[in-house]
């Protein structure tokens, strides 16, 4: 994208990716603090909502060098801000439902990330082949909205389960 859509020289892309990596690291720390402060469902809802907007925005900003780099920096922070929240959520769910398998659940969460990377590569490759490179950004936004929907649904299920168990104890 940076070379074909934004018209960066190949020599500049390495530096942009380095700065993206720094924003990913910052986003990972920030995402963990947000999940600790607000809880994983709330943090993930914020992150997936913002990520959807950022990816949609990138559909349009990738034509401008400055706007594309700024969008990529913000994207990096949000893209990996979800990792700690997802890990916290999986571990809390495992502690609640399968306390003897928390370590297994944690490992399965990492496996799910790898499956997501593989599926994203397949979907992205299909989009580039059948549509255009520029379409990958807005399609990524749609996928992020799907992650938001699943997150919200899971949070609602948790609330219903909590309410049902508190009603039973009364």
115 and 63 in contact (C-beta within 8 Å)?
Answer: no
Find where tokens 């994983």 sit: 40
Model pLDDT, residue 43 = 97
Q: What is the DSSP string of 58-122?
A: HHHHTTSHHHHHHHHHHHHHHHTTHHHHHHHHHHHHHHHH-GGGHHHHHHHHHHHHHHHHHHHHH
The pTM of the full predicted model, rounded to 2 decimals, is 0.87
Q: Which of 81, 82, 78, 83 is nearest to 106 (CA)?
A: 83
**Model confidence pLDDT, tens digit, residues 84-104:** 999 999 999 999 999 999 999
**Model confidence pLDDT, tens digit, residues 119-134:** 999 999 999 999 998 9
Residue 68: both structure tokens together: 């594309």
The pLDDT-based confidence of 34 (bands split at 50, 70, 90) is: very high
């Amino acid at each position: 994208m940076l070379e074909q859509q934004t018209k960066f020289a190949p020599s500049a892309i390495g530096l942009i990716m380095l700065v993206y990596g720094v924003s990913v690291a910052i986003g990972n720390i920030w995402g963990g603090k947000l999940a600790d402060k607000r809880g994983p469902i709330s943090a993930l809802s914020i992150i997936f909502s913002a990520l959807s907007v950022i990816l949609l925005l990138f559909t349009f900003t990738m034509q401008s060098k400055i706007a594309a780099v700024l969008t990529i920096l913000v994207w990096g922070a949000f893209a990996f801000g979800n990792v700690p929240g997802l890990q916290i959520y999986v571990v809390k769910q495992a502690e609640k439902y399968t306390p003897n398998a928390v370590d297994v659940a944690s490992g399965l969460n990492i496996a799910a990330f790898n499956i997501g990377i593989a599926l994203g590569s397949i979907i992205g490759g299909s989009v580039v082949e059948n549509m255009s490179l520029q379409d990958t950004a807005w399609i990524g936004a749609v996928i992020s909205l799907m992650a938001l929907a699943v997150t919200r649904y899971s949070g609602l299920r948790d609330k219903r389960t909590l309410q049902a168990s508190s009603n039973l104890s009364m």
